[in-house]
A = this chain, B = another copy of it.
Amino acid sequence: MSLIAMLMSLPPAIDAQLKRDSGLNFFEYSILSQLSGAPGRRMQMARLAQMAGGTLSRLSHAASRLEERELVHRHLVTGESRCTELALTDAGMTFLEAAAPGHVREARRLVFDVLTPEQVAQVRDIAQSITTAASPEVARALREAIVASDRL
């Protein structure tokens, strides 16, 4: 029951802060954030969908909304992979830089500030176990992301 309560309260709280301060939902924020860390600030749609944790269809709709706001733009890649890439515009980068501190502050306030360092370590292990059981796909993307961030 406690876990369910957290699942019900944390994502809405995070979303509310982003929505209020930047007019983005968490998924859209994740898209911008992932793009900002990618080489050339661009990424293939399919790969981005994996990293941001959504389906291709969801990403396609979200990309359309972000494109409307000129934070992002689509770019067809010719050549052997025949795919479309999403690229962060300069305006998008600026926008993200403005949005990030508030989001980080909220994440800190709701999670890190209320947990001891041991609990932070515990929740990492627990969350990884549950994620692996619930969605091997997401778990794999997570491991990739962790490896990538370790390289920094």
Contacts and interface: CB of A to CB of B under 8 A. Distances in A.
Interface string A118-152: 01001111111111111100110110011001000
- The secondary-structure label for the interface of chain A is helix
Contacts of A145: 1
Interface stretch (A9-17, A67-75, A79-87): A9-17
Interface footprint category on A: 35 or more
Nearest to A13: B134
A122 B124 contact: no
A16 to B, nearest CB: 10
A78 interface: no
Interface string A1-36: 111111111111100000000000000000000000
